[in-house]
Structure 1
């Protein structure tokens, strides 16, 4: 069920991708205790990040980060090289009960102050260089609409995006009209190709994205077009947290502040919002951490 497939429609000069997530998505959110609407949004966000990473073929991390003004306070999906991913949803403490079918506006943009950043953090980036960030206006009732509009405007190429998610699975379909390479189009270029391929894609059903494998979805939609399969992979959940990173967070407090917290609360508890990993530091742990510190550490 966890699979991503890339396509090339040569005569139409269109590229496509289909992704489906099942067990790996379940692993990614199992420790987050999310209401249904938020879990569905996590699935859409992870699917969108994977499709974006596939389209960009970027060497580094591709991320979608949302700062919301609704019941979802913050959301983040990251995709690294090799199509490993993680996704996190942070709810507001006073979120209350949420309609399972809540739309994008209700979840993250109730007063128009929700923000979404499209982040590209290249591999081996120098510390003085900031990652690229593009702002995705949260326009439309669905996240797919918002991202589709972003690609249309920022890359100025026609784009089709469909996303679906439920409590068990998620999936997405991405099409993009390619610019002519060097201003040139394929010799047998079909000027009606984009319209036709998009028309077929418009018939995809959410149920198909949630229950079928990418090759079956693509076969049903595009059998008349005979696209080339250019790449296939299995997306995998993988978190980047580690005991060393937890140590770095405690070190960043400074020994005096860290010991003050231990004295007041009995210890310091660090947990990862993505995978649920936890580590507890008592007074002995904190003293040992700073005793072995041999220089500044980054969290």
Structure 2
């Protein structure tokens, strides 16, 4: 199968540069990964959109950081969407794809099925946690929404570094590679 055919059908993150205008960026396609993540849950459309957008954001940011283990993105709010999270796991060895998972917790009784997905979060914060693995202290950054209280420290959303992360392949942005599936679900207890 040609690279063009793989890109057309597979989960991929590709860097690009437009030389004439000095524009650089990344483009992502996560069909298989998002299908697997979202099919494991019965999320309403608004929550599904938030999970998909958070997973895409993790997929776009994760490969740009020299990670040895994990990047976590967490959105917490006081609205019906209590938490939306995604974890990007760096490839364990050169040439392997990274892995990604995403999930959400929400209050179905408070959810507005016709409302804007982002509005379902309410007031809260966005947090980024970079965990380089065993023997390191995770780096944390958070940004509260206007008039929101200071956020607590993000909680880990996955197994400890001594345990293996979920096996959900995701291609590294450093090269176009083929991914087979993704994994989603609630965090390990």
How far does residue 121 in structure 1 lie from its aligned partner after superposition?
Answer: 0.6
Residues 1:107 and 2:120 aligned together: yes
Matched residue, 2:109: 94
Aligned residue among 84, 89, 93 for 1:80: 89
Secondary structure of 1:232 counterpart: coil
Aligned residue among 110, 131, 142 for 1:135: 142
Aligned residue among 29, 34, 37 for 2:43: 34
How far does residue 22 in structure 1 lie from its aligned partner after superposition?
Answer: 1.4
1:97–1:5 distance in 2 versus 1, CA, 3 Å: same
Greater C-alpha Rg? 1
Matched residue, 1:237: 182
Secondary structure of 2:42 counterpart: coil
Distance (Å, rounded) in 2 between the aligned partners of 1:45 and 1:230? 20
Distance (Å, rounded) in 2 between the aligned partners of 1:27 and 1:98? 23
> Is residue 126–residue 144 contact of structure 2 (8 Å, CA) maintained in 1?
yes
Secondary structure of 2:53 counterpart: helix
> Is residue 32–residue 89 contact of structure 1 (8 Å, CA) maintained in 2?
no
How far does residue 238 in structure 1 lie from its aligned partner after superposition?
Answer: 3.5
Secondary structure of 1:117 counterpart: strand
Aligned residue among 57, 80, 102 for 1:71: 80
Q: CA deviation digits over 1:169-199, x for unaligned, max 9?
A: xxxxxxxxxxxxxxxxxxxxxxxxxxxxxxx
> Is residue 46–residue 85 contact of structure 1 (8 Å, CA) maintained in 2?
yes
1:137–1:43 distance in 2 versus 1, CA, 3 Å: same
Secondary structure of 2:63 counterpart: helix
Secondary structure of 1:119 counterpart: strand
CA RMSD of aligned residues (A): 2.7
Matched residue, 2:186: 273
> Is residue 36–residue 183 contact of structure 2 (8 Å, CA) maintained in 1?
no
Matched residue, 1:60: 69
Q: Aligned pair count? A: 147
Gaps of 5+ in 2: 1-8, 92-97, 147-172
How far does residue 134 in structure 1 lie from its aligned partner after superposition?
Answer: 0.8
1:36–1:57 distance in 2 versus 1, CA, 3 Å: same
Aligned residue among 45, 56, 78 for 2:54: 45
The range that moved more, 85-94 or 45-54, is 85-94
Matched residue, 2:34: 25
Distance (Å, rounded) in 1 between the aligned partners of 2:65 and 2:17? 14
Higher helix share: 1
